Structure 1
């Protein structure tokens, strides 16, 4: 069960159990982050839909695994017009690693989000990135972790799935909020989740639609509902990543 006492899908329970066992880095990191807001503005001024393209070798909700060099994939995504990148660092269930993120960040000039199940402050110190994902559903002291991330120079992206989680994120001072259309309890996707939550997000928050975007029509739907940017993973990783990113950024 999660912090709210709600039942979780077996795959998510396994991910969280592994996350609780992972330690952080040996030294506190200090990040000179690339501005995510500037990256979004640059995409908009260039006529592109701001897309965070995700380097995700595998996941519990996809079949198979993609073993291309992560740096080559990331570079191809930037070539396609990605405003930023999301890189999995969770090893056991998503095939990610801190090493891959470090190599990718050194090779590209766009902001890089570290996507993982971060539960403690020490786990922030594993690798430098520009943004770091904090999932409200699984973090007990959200305001404390947001502050700890900001103190290190990270731009924290707080992920929510419900109105209650949105309220927690706002109270914690988050100015980057992602609405995950995937229910991590059941692993089911519903784009209506974003549409139901977006109207309640404060105007000064940068809002990102996460999960479930698989077509140009989905992009337009999320943008119409208020998405400032979209985080897209599986639909980009399946096939020619440059062409896939371009398809979404020009939707």
Structure 2
């Protein structure tokens, strides 16, 4: 009764999906990725990104949680920075002297890219690629990492990119989850590659990032962010120094030690 009262949804899910009664039987659990602490670089005050007119808040934005997010902090993050994003996005829009225009040829080119899976002849299944991508990232870029496995992951990701050009989907444009997944895979693969490159670059263990081949923290790496940018369709990685902590925050941190 205690478990049913405190964990009703978990009890229901295990019973319905696995026919396991967790009030009487052991249940299998495992670690998984449920939050990205990295993300888009933003201005801390305005949430503005490096793309003019684009503002980001919440899990998509980087910089708030450091190397390890504390439970419950996501809600306060959204409340504070979600409000800032809305306010500053509105200010930006009001300050525009004219409405932005979009090139019709560019729209047609993007539409052609989006519809490409319907004309694909390679026969690759987006669901198969998605499942294999999950296995790759869980097994090679998971909780415990090594440079050897991370580089193996990069090779697999490159192969997935090639397979993605041969993806085919059926049906029409209305409520077509296979088509939607085929489009999402482009972003999934790019984020996976960025995370893997950053994990290779950070040769230490810190917070949620554990390197079996570098089990200790490196004081020098405590002072930098690993930044990945796209230049001429290639990802470039760099280490950039963290901004100086304001005196009032530094004093508060020292008091808590």
Give the TM-score of the pair, scaled to structure 1.
Answer: 0.27
Structure number, greater radius of gyration: 2
- As a proportion of its length, which structure holds more helix? 2
- As a proportion of its length, which structure holds more strand? 1
Give the TM-score of the pair, scaled to structure 2.
Answer: 0.27
